[in-house]
Amino acid sequence: MITSALLERRREAAVASGGTSAPAIYRAALDLVLDAGLRGELLEFGAGTGTLVRQLLDAGFGGRITAVDILPRPAGLAAAVRWIQADLHEPLAVAGESFDAIVSTEVIEHLENPRAVFREFGRLLRPGGTLIVTTPNQESLRSLTALALRGHFVDFLDGSYPAHITALVRRDFQRLCQEAGFEPPRFSYTNHGGVPRLPRLRWQTVSAGLLRGRLFSDNVLMLARKVREAR
C-alpha cells in the first residue's frame, strides 16, 4: 500500500536529484538513440525537467514522444510531447505494448525494485522494442576505490542518499534482462569520468582522451531488445 508519507518521500528524492543529469550522459544517450535508428512511439521513463526530450526534438527524432515523471510537466515543453505525471515505482496506467522504444537516463538507481521496473519495461514495449538505460558505473576505478576505502560505491555514499538507493552492475542488468524477456544487453560508456578523490579532474583530460571505457567512465549505458517471440 502506498501511503502519502511514502509518496512524499519519493517526490522529495526526485526534487533532490534536480530532475536532470550531466551533459555527457545526455549526449551519450542521444547518440545511442540516433545510432540505433529508433523511431515510432518512444517513452522517456523519468524525464525530469525534459532536457533529453528537447534534445531528441532538436535532433529531429521523427516519432512520437511520451514522457513520464513524478515531477509535473516542465514549462515550455513542446505541445506534441505527451506528459504523464506518475510515480515511477508503480505500474503506469498505459496499455501494454504501447511503445517501440524506452529510454531511461539516471533513473533506475532512484527506484526501489529494479526487477519490477524491468517487468514494466517488458510490458510496455512491443516485441523487438528497444530499451536504453543509463546509471552510475559501479565498475569504474573511482567507484571501486570508494567501495574499498569508504564502504560503498561513490554515487551511493551518504551525500547521494536517499536519492540514490539501488546500485547495479553489468551482471545485474544481464540477469534483469533475462528475467524480463529481453535479449542479452550491450553496454557502452560515457567516456567521461573523474579521478578518485579528485572528481573534477577527468581521466580524459590527464590522458589526452586515451583513457576510456569501463574503468574511466562515471556512467554506463545498457541497450537491450525485447524478444520477438514468447519463450
Residue 54: closest CA among 31, 77, 23 = 77
Query: Is residue 210 domain-resident?
Result: yes
Query: Is residue 196 domain-resident?
Result: yes
Q: What pLDDT shows up at residue 87?
A: 96
Query: Is residue 127 domain-resident?
Result: yes
Q: What pTM does this model have?
A: 0.93
Question: Could you write out the three-class secondary structure of 121-173?
Answer: HHHHEEEEEEEEEEEECCCCHHHHHHHHHHCCCHHHCHHHCCCCCCCCCHHHH
The number of folded domains in the chain is 1
CATH number at residue 18: 3.40.50.150
| Res 17 pLDDT > 90 | no
Q: What grid cell was written down for 218?
A: 562515471
| Res 19 pLDDT > 80 | no
Query: Is residue 230 domain-resident?
Result: no
Domain around 189: 4-225
Q: Using CA atoms, how far apart are residues 53 and 146, in angstroms rounded to an integer? A: 33
Q: Using CA atoms, how far apart are residues 209 and 205, in angstroms rounded to an integer? A: 6
Under 8 Å CB-to-CB from 229, ≥6 apart: which residues? 127
Confidence of residue 62 (pLDDT cuts 50, 70, 90): confident
Query: Is residue 165 domain-resident?
Result: yes
